[in-house]
Amino acid sequence: SAAVEVLHRRELAAERDPQARARLVLRLAAVHEATTGGLARALECGAVDRVVEPRDTRSALVRTLAELPQRRGSRPNGPL
């Protein structure tokens, strides 16, 4: 799971054995899904709008950007 790779990157990097690392990823992914509810829960609660297959990423991104309102003019910097 991509979330597991990000959330547990140090722990995974410390595991040198590829097979043990793969088992660790599976175990951590199962814990993560049990804790958060997984992708189905993320879609259900609106945390994720939709799932895009990797091969469709470029076209989905282009389509989404084209749907954004066109903004012209200056964009003020927000307060720091």
Exposed / middle / buried, residue 72 (Cβ in 10 Å: 0-12, 13-18, 19+): exposed
Provide the pLDDT confidence category of residue 10 given band limits of 50, 70 and 90. Answer: very high
pLDDT for position 56: 96
Q: Please report which helix (H) or strand (E) contains residue 3, including its range.
A: helix 2-7
* Domain ranges within the chain, ordered by starting residue: 2-66
pLDDT at 74 over 80: no
Instruction: Calculate the alpha carbon distances from 18 to 6, 9, 25, 27, 59 in Å.
Output: 17, 14, 10, 14, 34
Provide the pLDDT confidence category of residue 25 given band limits of 50, 70 and 90. Answer: very high
Summarised one tens digit per residue, pLDDT across range 35-62 is 988 888 989 999 888 899 999 999 999 9
pLDDT at 78 over 90: no
